[in-house]
Amino acid sequence: MLIELRNINFSYKDSGEKALEDVSLTLTPGNCYTIEGPNGCGKSTLFRIMMGLEKPESGIYRVDGEEITPQKLKKESLRQNFYRRMGFLFQNCEIQLFTQTVEDEIAFGLEQLRLPESEIHARVEHYLERFQLQNLRNRAPFHLSGGEKKRLALAAVLAMEPEAILMDEPISGLDEEGQRWVSEFLLEMKAEGRLMVIATHNRALAQSVADVRITMQHGRVQLIEKPQ
């Protein structure tokens, strides 16, 4: 999957304040990118555009050469294909959890893909084991700890086997053990060659997983560098 953002500009509707100014990025398959910067630098707005939730006031956002906008994603075939190929992990992962059990949460996205029942069962079992959730399979997601919720949200996203995944502050709010687990898992994903884009304040995480580090300030890309 190739992601292209060209001369993206975006302003907040209520205040008119610029959130993004002339942002251009090319994100290529098999690489891990971190997007860093202080609160208010434009990371979250950029992610909302990449998720297809916001349309830039000018500029263009393409995935594999096709422009993506909220209006275009109203077409069911395009929307299903886009969200099958692109996975998202929100900073507050609770907003992604809404079924009755851990097992159902992983199965939900697979059911939307209309996969055969046998394939759904096989993937659910695989990701329960991979994310150490077997003993929690019948528990309600909202009764999990913060680290368990993060693992479940990741499992549900990755069970759909997306080509790319966007993650907003994946280790924020976790204790030391949870941060270590997620960091190690991100390194595993990197080794698999999946395109990853991670918004983070954590410099140590960025240094350890990023192929390319992107720093933003006041809605603009200030620096693009490859860690030594």
- What span, in angstroms and rounded, lies between the C-alpha atoms of 128 and 158? 11
pLDDT above 90: residue 31? yes
- What span, in angstroms and rounded, lies between the C-alpha atoms of 128 and 32? 25
- What span, in angstroms and rounded, lies between the C-alpha atoms of 17 and 109? 36
pLDDT above 90: residue 16? no
Helices of type H across the chain? 43-50, 76-85, 102-112, 117-130, 146-158, 176-191, 203-209
Mean pLDDT of 38-60: 92
- What span, in angstroms and rounded, lies between the C-alpha atoms of 163 and 156? 14
In the structure, what pLDDT confidence band is assigned to residue 45 with cuts at 50, 70 and 90?
Answer: very high
The alpha carbon of 120 is separated from its chain's Cα centroid by a whole number of angstroms, namely 22
Mean pLDDT of 44-55: 92
Alpha-carbon distance values, 199 to 43, 139, 157, 171, 222 (Å): 7, 30, 17, 10, 15
pLDDT in tens, 117-148: 999 999 999 999 999 999 999 999 999 998 89
Residue whose token pair is 């884009």: 197
The number of CA neighbours under 13 Å toward the Cβ of 188 is 9
**Amino acid at the residue 39:** N
Answer whether 45's CB lies under 8 Å from 13's CB: no
In the structure, what pLDDT confidence band is assigned to residue 155 with cuts at 50, 70 and 90?
Answer: very high
The structure's pTM equals 0.90
Quote the crossing angle between the two packed helices 146-158 and 117-130, to the nearest 10°: 140
Answer whether 198's CB lies under 8 Å from 167's CB: yes
CATH class of 3-225: alpha beta
- Per-residue pLDDT at 131: 92
Strands 58-63 and 66-67: antiparallel
Residue ranges covered by each domain of the chain: 3-225
- Per-residue pLDDT at 159: 94
pLDDT in tens, 69-109: 999 999 988 888 898 899 999 888 889 999 999 999 999 99
- Per-residue pLDDT at 13: 82
In the structure, what pLDDT confidence band is assigned to residue 225 with cuts at 50, 70 and 90?
Answer: very high
- What span, in angstroms and rounded, lies between the C-alpha atoms of 161 and 126? 12
- What span, in angstroms and rounded, lies between the C-alpha atoms of 66 and 155? 28
The string over 209-220, giving b where at least 16 C-beta atoms fall within 10 Å of a residue's C-beta and e elsewhere, is bbebbbbbeebe
Mean pLDDT of 38-58: 92
